[in-house]
Amino acid sequence: MDRVYAGGRLRRMRQDRGMTQVDLAKVLAISPSYLNQIEHDTRPLTVSVLLRINEVFGIDPGFFAPRDTARAMIELREALPGRPGASPVPLADLQELAGRMPEVAEAVIELYRRYREAGDHLAALTDSRSSATANSPHEMVRDYFYRYQNYVDELDQAAEQSARAVGTRRGEVRRRLREYLAQTHRITVAVRPREEGAPTGEMHRYDAASRVLTFSPHLRPGQQAFRLATELAYLEQGDLIDGLLDAEPWPSDEARHLARIGLANHFAGAFILPYTPFFRAAEKFRYDLELLADHFGVSYETIAHRLSTLQRPGMRGVPFIFVRVDRAGNISKRQSATGFHFSRSGGTCPLWNVYESFAAPGRVITQVAEMPDGQRYLWVARSLTRNRAGHGQPAKTFAVGLGCEVRHSGRLVYADGLDIEDSRTVMPIGPGCKTCERPRCPQRAAPPIGGQLAVEDHRSTFVPYPLAMRTSS
């Protein structure tokens, strides 16, 4: 196993129990000097020590596993940009803070979020025209699922058991769900006539009094199956969902309600694509999204989203980041089973291949991208267009991206033929211009936070925002 350095967490565990180093060393059957070295990260935690901690204190060894700090690093860079004109906080220091003191790092990030939210409230009160970046309820829900690594085990297991009990099979999920809801819950499904348009663009509505679930005629069969499964979640897993929500302090009813919808949707996705058969198919097809979409009879986006949730202990898939982006760079969906995180300050990186996919509709685009911290990712992107129906009707066009760290790329068909190690084929991207530290990027749309521009009358550069040389202090 990889060496585990978790001295800060071991020290907190000891202090929480009111123990001295001598006390804990005696319990773990090691010398106090050895324990001191472990707590200061000069020696790693060994398997025998981890097992002894589990035996004595009942703490799972996973508590001491290395933390994925990529996301915390990006948010700390936003929160701690450094003084104007001076060097930014070194990445090594941010890495140490995020890795050794994650609670402190999270407290700093939370303080920065509250500072930004206060600024947004002030802007609203003063009728400012600047764009709001408050920690919205949607962002809170995204963070909630991020903490779960986009996989809620209790709900996912319940969905798989439910699908087995209902007796769903590939290609027959919608039919079996309709039959089951009719027989078990006396729910009737109706499709609204096309001539009876919904002025609000309503795609579905369930009336609990009449027990009628009405669909828009524009909903495809796969979308209908998903809505049926979502209503099943509310009907049969309401207590489980509420229990998960009760364990979280929600700042508003709106945030809690959005999270409830998110959990019901998580159940629906896991019901339509039950974990075990889907995981086995994903491994068999080497995560080929188009083959998986054909195999299960669902959309490309549904497959991409489900692939980002395969984190069941003992049966883990590739940890993916899933995003859905429009042409303007707005991220309408963002799920992550890993630490990759785009900045909340400004847009995303224009060098990212999700934007290239808009120029090649329906074609899968691959890219090996490197973040400023040196971490490399394999990205797969494809654009999708949805029309409601009929000529002249408004359409929605998105790019769906799925990415993973390159160390997992051997499991993906999309890595075939790519030289992952060749730096000439790697695209340097960033989390967003305001937090990206690439000073020579020709696509930069804004200077980095805390950066001082090199403004000269008689000099121009290819780089849009040349930075002055930073001085140490």
- pLDDT tens per residue, range 441-472: 888 888 777 667 777 877 888 888 787 765 44
| Mean pLDDT value across residues 95-118 | 78
Give the pLDDT of residue 394. Answer: 65
With residue 191 as reference, give the H or E element that holds it: strand 188-191
When pLDDT is cut at 50, 70 and 90, the band that residue 2 belongs to is: low
> Could you read off the pLDDT of 50-101 as tens digits, one per residue?
888 888 887 776 667 655 666 677 778 778 876 655 567 777 787 777 777 7
426-428: strand order across its sheet: 331-336, 321-325, 395-405, 376-387, 365-370, 426-428
pLDDT higher at 329 or 126: 329
pLDDT digits (tens, 9 = 90+) for 177-226: 999 999 999 999 999 887 665 555 688 999 999 999 999 888 888 899 99
Q: What domains sit in the chain, N to C, each tagged with a CATH number?
A: 7-64 (1.10.260.40), 153-272 (1.10.10.2910), 316-428 (3.30.450)
8 A C-beta contact, residue 61 and residue 50: yes
**Contact present, 74 and 341 (Cβ < 8 Å):** yes
Sheet holding 212-215, edge to edge: 188-191, 212-215, 204-207
- The pLDDT assigned to 127 comes to 45
Alpha carbon distance, N-terminus to C-terminus of the chain: 41
pTM equals 0.72
Q: Is the per-residue pLDDT at 364 higher than 70?
A: yes
- pLDDT > 70: what percent of the chain? 85
What residue has token string 């196993």?
Answer: 1
CA R_g for the chain: 25
Ramachandran bin of 171, using left for φ above 0, alpha for ψ from -120 to 50, beta for the remaining angles: left
Q: What percent of the chain has pLDDT over 90?
A: 39
Read off the DSSP letter of residue 265: H
**Which residue type is seen at 213?**
L
At residue 134, the pLDDT reads: 46
Distances, alpha carbon 368 to alpha carbons 99, 334, 349, 405, 463, in Å? 26, 19, 14, 9, 23
**392-405 pLDDT per residue, tens:** 666 789 999 999 99
Closest CA to 282 of 267, 303, 262: 303
| Confidence (pLDDT) at 396 | 83
pLDDT higher than 80, residue 355: yes
**Is pLDDT of 346 > 60?**
no
d(CA 188, CA 211): 6
